Chain A
């Protein structure tokens, strides 16, 4: 059937919309729908799409563009802020997964080089997908979100190094050939050149150009994309891959003021391009490969889906994090990365491995991406089910002991949930000189910005929490968690445990306030309503009475 390219695209898009719509109606994530669409239109099922140059163009440009946007969002300063956790978890996971993965692959019958590629490929998690999922769920700024991002940054850096290394090995040839030093030198020089351009642009050139691009939005986008394309091309010329170039181009701009303006404008293009990325992924699923290599594919996919999260949870548990945070972070590494595919493709290009390995990795990619997206989508529900079983990952803490340095062993006021509202309350109380204690599941994060606040570990979901708190002289417990089941739970266990002081709870909905009061809270407050009032009054005063408030341009 000789349909024109426009018609082909129309058909593919239509399938995507239908699949996407179904996914949304069934309350699943959009990603899964798109992947399903990709498989449907590819040679595996309906065979609607052959890899023509145009669709492939859109897909390869797409990956580079996606990596550019990812690079744009990865501020290296995140690493500094998160410190050891991200590094430990990221590197730890890479090391463990690679080693165990290598062993598994050898057991399954792959030869050494193939097994090495597999092992390395399986360790990386997909930055593109995780950043997108976290942004959609608006959980990018939560504790687990930031740790996950840190892990991803560490891994991406490892990937870039790995890709440079693979190319280097290719260029350098075998050790016995003469002139080895020269060739190694050549590769290092070229890598240095590439990184040099990136740094110069990021630190010196880009910040100076702010004035030029300030006024015109479209020009800014155009300029930024031009930079990405040029760097990708340079990277290609220097013998590295274009994806690395695009990614580095994004990183070079990540600390400039353009970042937000560009990222928000590129958002739509990125989403659009992501569609083609998933389609392309789906179309590369070769049914023959699936049947031949079914066992290895299943085993390795399960390894990624279960093994990676477990490794991360172990590491984070060891570092003292609570199971909820560890669990949610663990879920974010339960898939392989677009870089895994690119890495293996590079290996094929260099002649280290065959194309059938690429097929295997592609299928593993599809399976793990789809499955992990579903898992993340339903993370909260899953956690509630699995919470008891996850205790094994936590270091047992016994009683919650306040930090002896803070000498708060008999607080008058306890604030559970030291978020923005909680820390404000603690502040106000401290100002009056009261003895206070804050309880939160991320005391370290809080201490980074507010070292002076007395905060200890405590998981609001833990039914033992009230027993562990020194409530003997507490007059008020203030709960700012803002999750109805948790709040009700806490109120109940506080009262059951014999606490007779006051309980104040924050909630937004008047109906929720009612329920909380019925359950035993003494005071509820609606923070947003309280904050809106001064604004409304100022505006009313200004609008109705004030005639010299000028209007308009």
Chain B
């Protein structure tokens, strides 16, 4: 690699880090920092980077991975469990928002195709931002949280469908619109059918073999995604769609969590390149755009929540719940950006319009974070106009969902952990096991509740269902690992008990100082009974063979 390119990348990354840190310092998502960084290093501002194929390629792989992970988490069983209500709400919301946005952009004089892109872009909300908002406030299990997430799932499906259509739609082709649609539909169904067959019959067995080695599993998952992306491309769809379908195909696999857990870092890293690449293609010009940006932003910040609130209330949810859900969703999505990037690469969207999307994204993501923080204060005022729309019998629960609400979590299913886990289960305790070895997880899955997770992963507390947990038993022996995990738990607000394992007396003291409720020293416990027997008998061995257990 040339020194120039390396140095360039280094400086670009540095800008990303600085701006990312700034974003976090003001409690905004990292995404914002990266987006700004992308613009800053682009040709319009610092001019550090011209668009290069290498960066673009890395960004493309990042997007493919993103959609792969999205597909992976789209458990078809979950969708069925959410029930028709949310699906209806989501669909209506997308349709109306898009229609209104389309009207706005056309009135500003934009052409049809760019308007379509912008309209679609305005109707999606950001999964990343919403999940972060909800998790930070511990609201992810509450009704409005689940409503918001349900709507987001619907949006994901719509996005993908759109990407399929847009990429395959060729405005210059001689074939009629109907013929084109027909061709798309045919190819789409064909691809879908092949994947469905593979997913049902071939994949589970293959994955089982590959899961024997963690890195082989990840490698295979990525290969599967890339291969399907290439196949999709061959059939005239966009690569992202292939990656998404690859994810959905594996969504009902037991190894789902193991795969997605390991891909997160890679995905986030590659997405940085996506933002840089996007930044190089944006163009900002003049006051006209500014007006459009402002209007669209206001529409998203105010109009969208109102729309969602009204629809949800009409469908039977309580006004307060509807308003909260709406406020959470008051921004546009990284998918809007991805869609815009797709448009640019297809030549259907120009740099200026993409710039508009980016600007609206920046503004709405930033402001929606503050907006939803003020939800409590705004609630009474906003609920009043909705009151008359509220139904007589209000929904208090969504459809049944089997939620894991364990009371005890055992982390680390090695010999000690597994013994504890199994004994507790035998005694009827509602216990969840956590381990990072995909084979342990698979072996225990099905009826037995074991999930994928790594104690050294700082994000682990946010991934665990801690709401009803009273005891956490963590079996790794390194006190430093316990220290950082405890820290993260307390930040999450955990107030239950904690049991740690240790080998040495010094570690035990350290852990007790950290506030651990019970420290177990397995070796000492194991040695004790042996000592008793040994000293109970002098020279003679005991009368018969004995097992101490």
Contacts and interface: CB of A to CB of B under 8 A. Distances in A.
Given A535-B473, A549-B470, A421 B226 contact: no
Nearest to B226: A10
A529 interface: yes
Contacts of A513: 547, 549
B518 interface: yes
Interface string A396-412: 00000000000000000
B216 A502 contact: no
B57 A527 contact: no
A527 B471 CA distance: 23
Contacts of B438: none
A446 interface: no
Contact of B30 (A17, A54, A219): A219
A237 B6 CA distance: 10
A542 B469 CA distance: 12
Interface string A257-270: 00011001111110
Contacts of B549: 510, 513, 525-526, 529-530
Interface string B334-371: 00000000000000000000000000000000000000
B285 interface: no
Contact of A521 (B10, B53, B457, B545): B545
Chain B CB within 10 Å, residue with most, of A7, A216, A268, A504: A268
Counting chain B CB atoms within 10 Å of each CB, the highest count among A30, A213, A266, A522 belongs to: A522
B523 A218 contact: no
A221 B269 contact: yes
B104 interface: no
Contact of B524 (A236, A266, A424): A424
A540 interface: yes
B435 to A, nearest CB: 14
Interface residues of A, number: 96
B233 interface: yes
Contact of B527 (A53, A230, A425, A521): A425
- Chain B interface bracket (under 10, 10 to 19, 20 to 34, 35 or more): 35 or more
A50 interface: no
A513 B30 CA distance: 55
Contacts, number: 313
**Main SS class of interface, A:** helix
Contacts of A218: 30, 265, 268-269
A534 B454 CA distance: 24
A236 B6 contact: yes
Given A532-B423, A536-B424, A525 B13 contact: no
Interface in A529-548: 529-536, 538-540, 542-543
A82 interface: no
Interface stretch (A18-26, A67-75, A347-355, A363-371): A18-26
B427 interface: yes
Contact of A552 (B233, B494, B540): B494
Given A424-B524, A550-B496, A553-B492, 19 more contacts: A21-B206, A25-B209, A54-B54, A222-B269, A230-B10, A233-B6, A233-B7, A237-B7, A264-B456, A265-B265, A272-B218, A424-B527, A525-B529, A530-B549, A531-B501, A535-B520, A539-B408, A540-B424, A552-B494
Interface of A: 4-7, 9-10, 13-14, 16-17, 20-21, 24-25, 30, 53-54, 57, 60-61, 212-213, 215-219, 221-223, 225-226, 229-230, 232-233, 236-237, 242, 260-261, 264-269, 271-272, 275, 413, 420-421, 424-425, 428-429, 432, 475-476, 478, 501-504, 506, 508, 510, 513, 517, 521-536, 538-540, 542-543, 549-553
